[in-house]
């Protein structure tokens, strides 16, 4: 391929794979670094089916600095690196804090060190709205305060943001974007790639689709006594394809403006949807009934949070193109095809 080279750690994962598709569609040449610990090698072939271009991949543990440098040294002309490789389950992080710090902080340090060694100046980083914790307002801007984390996972994101800021100050000409994701759902409209949770899903959407498919008996709604209109939690659910496009825009912003600082963006739709609203919309759009019950609250959940994403709109010229119904339909179509 002859596009501009972009390194993508965790490029076979859920958000990573959709971003690789969008990078190829935008004419880039993505190089994937992934050890498939939480993804599958056949996702790479599926990306090839979608785009007609199978991206180059290197099976490498991003905690392994020597191995990462062996790969990165082959791409001195890479215009940037998008860093997805990380552990992401809040509950698991409470059980395995050391694994989370080693992996999430370890891979970031390795990647930054490799970028420095080989002169790669632009980083796009996967952060999370979890950094806002139990925010004072339901709608948050990038200026809303970062709160003390309530899980090791959340703390790795807050700490990673700090590391990247310090690195931006310390390394000449280093530009970065911290992308604070809200709740990614949906799948590629082709149903060839999507989310592949390992074991029992923690997140709402894969739990819903697995319940609809009969893999799980019923969905438990975690609490209906919150201070929200229907008593269930409100979140900002964003289609993974819109999120993927935002990464391409963030990379273009860094390269076009020759950005030399660290810039934060919220990536959400700006709309809040309750758990019960998600269930009803999923049933309507897919013409099925979901087995669910109201259960107790889950520890650590905040009542409501959604994005003010005006900054991404203004600075990155990015807005969401898919609707919530598109996302609910695509999640279900993907689930139905898994294992076939």
Interaction between residue 298 and ligand UDP (CB under 6 A): yes
Q: CB of residue 129 vs ligand UDP: minimum separation in angstroms? A: 8
Binding segment for ligand UDP (CB under 6 A), chosen from 63-71, 162-170, 218-226, 311-319, is 218-226
Does residue 4 interact with ligand UDP by CB under 6 A?
no
**Residue 322 annotated to the active site:** no
Measured CA to CA, the distance from residue 148 to residue 324 in angstroms comes to: 31
Comparing CB distances to ligand UDP, the nearer of 235 and 247 is: 235
As a whole number of angstroms, the distance between CA 340 and CA 336 comes to: 8
Q: Is 38 in the site for ligand UDP (CB under 6 A)?
A: no
Q: Is the dihedral of CA 66, 71, 73, 77 positive or negative?
A: negative
Q: At what angle do helices 275-286 and 324-337 cross, to 10 degrees?
A: 70
The span of 9-17, 64-72, 169-177, 217-225 binding ligand UDP (CB under 6 A) equals 217-225
Residues 6+ apart with CB under 8 A from 105: 156, 159, 160, 163
Q: Which of 171, 210, 222, 338 binds ligand UDP (CB under 6 A)?
A: 222
237/318 with CB nearer ligand UDP: 237
In whole angstroms, how close is the CB of 128 to ligand UDP at the nearest point?
Answer: 8
Helix (H, G, I), strand (E, B) or coil at 163: helix
- 220 lies in the site for ligand UDP, by CB under 6 A: yes
- The residue among 147 and 298 lying less far from ligand UDP, judged by its C-beta, is 298
The answer to whether 202 contacts ligand UDP (rule: CB under 6 A) is yes
Residue nearest to ligand UDP (CB): 233
- Decide: is 207 part of the binding site for ligand UDP (CB under 6 A): yes
**For ligand UDP, what does the binding mask look like between residues 76 and 115, x meaning CB under 6 A?**
----------------------------------------
Q: How many whole angstroms separate alpha carbon 137 and alpha carbon 134?
A: 9
Return d(Cα 172, Cα 110) in angstroms, integer.
Answer: 18
Q: Which is nearer to ligand UDP, 56 or 203 (CB)?
A: 203
Residue 338: name the closest of 200, 209, 216, 238 by CA: 209
What does the alpha-carbon distance between residue 237 and residue 134 come to, in Å, rounded to a whole number?
18
Of 265, 276, 275, 270, the residue nearest 306 (C-alpha)? 270
Q: Which stretch binds ligand UDP (CB under 6 A): 6-14, 54-62, 119-127, 215-223?
A: 215-223
109 within 8 A of 66, measured Cβ to Cβ: no
Q: In angstroms, what is the minimal distance from the CB of 278 to ligand UDP?
A: 8
Chain centroid to Cα 335, Å, comes to 19
Choice between 177 and 304, CB closer to ligand UDP: 304
Q: Which residues of 89-108 are buried (b: 16+ CB within 10 A; e: fewer)?
A: bbebbeebeeebbebbbbbb
Closest CA to 151 of 90, 221, 230: 90
Q: Binding of ligand UDP at residue 219 (CB under 6 A)? A: yes
Helix (H) or strand (E) run with residue 126 in it: strand 122-128
The binder of ligand UDP chosen from 6, 114, 275, 276 (CB under 6 A): 275
Active-site entry in 28, 153, 253, 322: 153
Site for ligand UDP in 165-194 (CB under 6 A): 183
What is the 8-class DSSP label of residue 301? -
> Which residues are identified as catalytic?
153
- Contacts with ligand UDP by CB under 6 A lie at 183, 202-204, 207, 219-222, 233, 235, 275, 298, 301
């Amino acid at each position: 391929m002859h596009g501009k080279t972009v390194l993508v750690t965790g490029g076979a994962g859920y958000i990573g794979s959709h971003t690789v598709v969008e990078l190829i569609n935008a004419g880039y040449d993505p190089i994937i670094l992934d050890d498939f610990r939480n993804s599958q090698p056949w996702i790479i072939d599926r990306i090839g089916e979608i785009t007609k271009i199978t991206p180059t991949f290197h099976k490498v543990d991003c905690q392994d600095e020597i191995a990462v440098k062996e790969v990165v040294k082959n791409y001195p002309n890479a215009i940037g690196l998008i860093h997805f490789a990380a552990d992401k389950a809040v509950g698991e992080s409470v059980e395995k804090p050391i694994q989370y710090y080693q992996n999430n902080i370890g891979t970031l340090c390795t990647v930054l060190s490799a970028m420095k060694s080989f002169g790669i100046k632009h980083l796009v980083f996967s952060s999370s709205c979890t950094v806002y914790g139990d925010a004072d307002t339901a709608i948050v801007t990038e200026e809303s305060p970062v709160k003390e984390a309530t899980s090791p996972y959340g703390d790795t994101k807050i700490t990673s943001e700090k590391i990247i800021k310090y690195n931006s100050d310390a390394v000449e000409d280093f530009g970065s974007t911290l992308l604070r994701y809200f709740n990614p759902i949906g799948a590629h409209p082709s149903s060839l790639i999507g989310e592949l949770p390992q074991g029992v899903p923690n997140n709402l959407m894969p739990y819903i689709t697995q319940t609809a498919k009969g893999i799980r008996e019923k969905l438990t709604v975690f609490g209906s006594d919150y201070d929200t209109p229907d008593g269930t939690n409100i979140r900002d659910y964003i289609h993974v394809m819109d999120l993927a496009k935002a990464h391409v825009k963030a990379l273009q912003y860094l390269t076009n403006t020759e950005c030399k600082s660290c810039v934060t963006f919220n990536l959400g739709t700006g709309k809040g949807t309750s758990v019960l609203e998600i269930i009803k919309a999923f049933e309507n759009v897919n013409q099925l009934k979901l087995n669910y019950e109201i259960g107790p609250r889950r520890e650590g959940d905040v009542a409501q949070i959604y994005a003010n994403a005006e900054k991404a709109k203004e600075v990155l010229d990015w807005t969401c193109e898919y609707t919530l119904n598109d996302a609910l339909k695509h999640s279900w179509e993907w689930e139905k095809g898994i294992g076939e």
